[in-house]
Amino acid sequence: MLRSSPQLFSLGLRRACASATVTTRVAASALPAFLSTSAVGHSAAASSTSPAAAAATGTATGGLKVDKELLQRLRKESTLPFNLCHEALLKNNNDYTLASTWLEKRATEIGRAKMEKLKDRVAAQGIVAVCAHEATAAVIELNCETDFVARNPLFVNTAKEIAANALQVHAGQIRAGAYDPSSTAMSKAVADAADKARSDAQASRAVGVATGTAAVVSPLPQIKSSATSVHKGEASTDGSATGIPLNQLLPSLISEHGQTVFDRLVHVVGRMGEKVDLRSASVLDVSHVTVSSGIPGEDKPLTGRGVVGVYTHGGEDSLCGAKASAVALVSYPPITSATPADTVKELSKIAHGLAVHVLAHAPTAVEKVSAERATLKDDVTQVAADAILLEQPYFYDTSKKVQQVLEEAGKRFEMRLIVRSFTRMVAGEGIEVPRASGLS
């Protein structure tokens, strides 16, 4: 029996649809590009997976599955974007160590590209880090844009390492082109090589940092001298306090792998995505001093060393904080190998107490004479009496001035105690932050 026209039409339509389905499965690649994402090609489009989606499901192209636990760990520890962590594991067959190394290099590349873009931003947050050893202390200020980054372990640890580097640069243990943290004095051959490497680096305005078998060159920016906040006493005539020029600190080596301080900052920028600025670095050093008795007609200068006290506030430990201070204290007679260990310990405690006082009361001069001298030399306004350290009520006993506390302690140890110098730093202090538009 012949079928009616509607029946024939329905049968033809079903056969046509079936044929279209087979064609789509067998030759989807032959379809025009605009049809590949249409309703006909939905099944093909759904089968493709983006890197981020593949990471979320544990799948990847080429048959390799990215380990989800490693991916989460890498993302958390590196703080780098999810897709970069996925790519690192994918390129390194889920080898966590190799993936981490790949990310380190990638972060440096990102940091170099970002530094120029971020140069005009204001970095008013940050941290102050200290490093002290016996009679020497370094204090540095490292700035960033947000408090979130200022509290990040990578940023904090970088600040601590730079403080240690500043101390070692000052002592001559680390110099551009050589690295020997175990020795306090380098051989002449190594020192000469270091001087040549530093001269070459300054001439080319670039420092090479070894990364695996390749050398990554990080050009140094035009560097200004560090902003220092060191205050010296009347007796400070032997360089007991000084600012470390940033053009010496930035190219100094911070690791045995050839990475400089500047390279480390580039890496932090790549990881954190914010402007990072090493604002200042100061060193107090009373490891070799000549001290006078201060008694007219009976002055017999003696040589020895002093002690330093450091204090930080608002940080996770004693090595860093939102603010920090350091005080260099000497005595007459000065400390020598014959000085009892208990006496040295007590003098160190006094220096620490003075550092706490300096941070709390923010003096701007050690004594009246040094304040007047600074006024004449720098043409600054007269230092107020309450800003002179020795004239201030002592932090731990406000019934006594600092000068009286030192005199009483000196009598106990049969010594004359003298504050040689001090420094005080507050992260972001004095940096003007532009007011957001539209805000009053």
Q: How far apart are CA 242 and CA 141, in angstroms?
A: 15
* E strands, 348-415, in order: 393-394, 397-401
Question: Would you state the structure tokens that stand for residue 265, as one six-digit string?
Answer: 């900052």
Lowest mean pLDDT among 20-29, 70-79, 241-250: 20-29
Average pLDDT over every residue of 268-278: 92
Query: For residue 325, what are the contacts with CB-CB under 8 A and spacing of at least 6?
Result: 139, 310, 311, 355, 356, 358, 359, 422, 423, 424, 425
Neighbours of 292 (CB within 10 A): 13
Model confidence, pTM: 0.69
Decide which of 24 and 337 is more confident: 337
Q: How far apart are CA 129 and CA 351, in angstroms?
A: 18
Confidence of residue 435 (pLDDT cuts 50, 70, 90): confident
Q: How far is CA 404 from the centre of its chain?
A: 39
Confidence of residue 276 (pLDDT cuts 50, 70, 90): very high
Q: Which segments of 27-81 does DSSP mark as H helices, in order?
A: 42-47, 51-57, 68-78
**Strand 206-211 vs strand 214-219: parallel, antiparallel, or unpaired?**
antiparallel
Contacts of 203-212 spanning 24+ positions with Cβ under 8 A: 207/176, 207/251, 207/260, 207/262, 207/263, 208/258, 209/257, 209/258, 209/259, 209/260, 209/263, 210/257, 210/258, 210/259, 211/104, 211/105, 211/108, 211/257, 212/101, 212/105
Phi-psi sector, 128: left (phi>0), alpha (psi -120 to 50), beta: beta
The CATH class for the domain spanning 66-120 reads: mainly alpha
Q: What pLDDT, on a 0 to 100 scale, did the predictor assign at position 431?
A: 92
Residue that the structure tokens 């090589």 belong to: 193
Residue that the structure tokens 């989606």 belong to: 53
Whether 90 shows a pLDDT value over 60: the answer reads yes
Domain borders along the chain are 66-120, 125-426
Q: What is the pLDDT of residues 103-148, one digit of tens each?
A: 888 888 888 888 889 989 999 999 999 999 889 999 999 999 999 9
Confidence of residue 244 (pLDDT cuts 50, 70, 90): confident
Query: Positive or negative CA dihedral for 10, 12, 14, 20?
Result: negative
Q: What is the pLDDT of residues 387-416, one digit of tens each?
A: 899 999 999 999 999 999 999 999 999 999
Q: What is the pLDDT of residues 210-224, one digit of tens each?
A: 222 222 333 434 333
Q: Which CATH architecture has domain 125-426?
A: 2-Layer Sandwich (3.30)
> Which among 229, 232, 260, 238 is positioned nearest to 247, based on CA atoms?
260
Residue that the structure tokens 């402007």 belong to: 275
Confidence of residue 378 (pLDDT cuts 50, 70, 90): low
Whether 239 shows a pLDDT value over 70: the answer reads no
> Which among 338, 360, 347 is positioned nearest to 419, based on CA atoms?
347
Query: Positive or negative CA dihedral for 186, 189, 195, 200?
Result: negative
Q: How far apart are CA 358 and CA 394, in angstroms?
A: 10
Q: How far apart are CA 78 and CA 68, in angstroms?
A: 15
Q: Which residues are 20's β-sheet partners?
A: none
Whether 191 shows a pLDDT value over 60: the answer reads no
Query: For residue 37, what are the contacts with CB-CB under 8 A and spacing of at least 6?
Result: 45
Give the SS3 label for residue 175: strand
Largest CA distance in the chain: 141
What burial class does residue 401 get, using C-beta atoms within 10 Å of its C-beta: 0-12 exposed, 13-18 middle, 19+ buried? middle
Q: How far apart are CA 389 and CA 250, in angstroms?
A: 33
